[in-house]
Amino acid sequence: MLDFLEGCIQHIERDKAFHSSAFFSESYQLLRNDWMVICKEYEIPKYWFSLHVLIEIMLDKYYIDNNIEKLTLFYHELKTERNTVVKGLDFLEHPEPATFMERYDRFCEIQYLFHYQNIDRIAYALHRIYQQIGLDIAWYSRHENPLVIAMAKLYDTWKERLPQLGLHQIQSSNEGE
């Protein structure tokens, strides 16, 4: 149980460090203007929020494309540690553990992150996040195809600049822990 809680805390700390990193800041600055234009053209609200999410999803895509065996291991670990998650939710007195575990099991079953290998799933993932937090999602169905093309170009621009953006520093700091 202690490992579970330490893992949760470590995730929160890494997320804070990532969002305050030079890598994130420089990625944000690199993509900001182009993303703002895309959001305006395709009616995506809250460009600043979506850019934060987009950078994280694109980083996931990059790691998945280059470390598919780690993603396979990730899903294996999730399935084998299901009881630890159940105990952790109980310990934390989660208000809806059954709903959480239903979604957890679905996430493990579908293995959704493998879909990030396909660039159009990045647009879909952003749409689903907007849907889950109650933001307008009409933009997705109206503009899906041109949005996917625009996101692919943005991803390619960002991916080419990863060494200059400091991807190595992010990888090194995560491997050192």
As a whole number of angstroms, the distance between CA 48 and CA 162 comes to 20
Question: Which position has the token pair 């749409």?
Answer: 127
Q: What confidence tens digit (pLDDT) does each residue in 40-90 have?
A: 999 999 999 999 999 999 999 999 999 999 999 999 999 999 999 999 999
Q: Whose CA is closest to 163, among 5, 27, 20?
A: 27
As a whole number of angstroms, the distance between CA 37 and CA 128 comes to 21
Provide the pLDDT for residue 18.
87
Domain that holds residue 48: 2-175
Report the number of distinct structural domains present in the chain.
1
With cut-offs at 50, 70 and 90, classify the pLDDT of residue 101.
very high
With cut-offs at 50, 70 and 90, classify the pLDDT of residue 3.
confident
